[in-house]
């Protein structure tokens, strides 16, 4: 079955430190890939997306993600975390052409001052 795994439920980093959130998917072909961020009690905001082409994609708020086909991964990175980045982050996969997402269970980020 198709699935998305975010192995880290919680991550804590200090402000100014680098960040990497992991996402692995299980799907035969290359799906469409997304990262969303959710603040408490709010909806989801798109950070970035990958459909094809360059495997390193840039998003909003200084985030980037790298698609690695060999590892079925789409990890999210930020070189220097700000306190306002504290939120929950979701990786989502859309098997090509289905228009339906499969979400990971999310990673909650805490930022220490």
Residues that bind another protein (CB under 8 A): 4, 9, 32, 34, 36, 41-46, 49, 51, 90, 97, 99-101, 103-106
Least separation in angstroms between residue 27's CB and another protein is 16
Tell me whether residue 22 or residue 49 sits nearer to another protein (CB atom). 49
Least separation in angstroms between residue 106's CB and another protein is 6
Least separation in angstroms between residue 56's CB and another protein is 18
3-state SS, the chain, equals CCEEECCCCEEEEECCCCEEECCEEECCCCCEEEEEEECCCCCEEEEEEECCCCCEEECHHHCEEEEEHHHCEEEEEECCCCHHHCEEEEEEEECCCCCCCEECCCEEEEEEC
Q: What is the rounded distance in angstroms from the CA atom of residue 73 to the CA atom of residue 32?
A: 12
Tell me whether residue 44 or residue 86 sits nearer to another protein (CB atom). 44
Least separation in angstroms between residue 92's CB and another protein is 8
Tell me whether residue 10 or residue 80 sits nearer to another protein (CB atom). 10
Q: 46 phi and psi, to 5 degrees?
A: -70, 125
Tell me whether residue 18 or residue 110 sits nearer to another protein (CB atom). 110
């Amino acid at each position: 079955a198709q699935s998305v795994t975010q192995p880290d439920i919680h991550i804590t980093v200090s402000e100014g430190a680098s960040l990497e959130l992991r996402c692995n998917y299980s799907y035969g072909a290359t799906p469409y890939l997304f990262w969303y961020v959710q603040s408490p009690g709010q909806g989801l905001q798109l950070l970035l997306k990958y459909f094809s082409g360059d495997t390193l994609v840039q998003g909003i708020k200084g985030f980037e993600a790298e698609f690695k086909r060999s590892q079925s991964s789409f990890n999210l990175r930020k070189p220097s975390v700000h306190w306002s980045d504290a939120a929950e982050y979701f990786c989502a996969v859309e098997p090509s052409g289905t228009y339906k997402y499969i979400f990971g269970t999310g990673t909650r980020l805490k930022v220490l001052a």
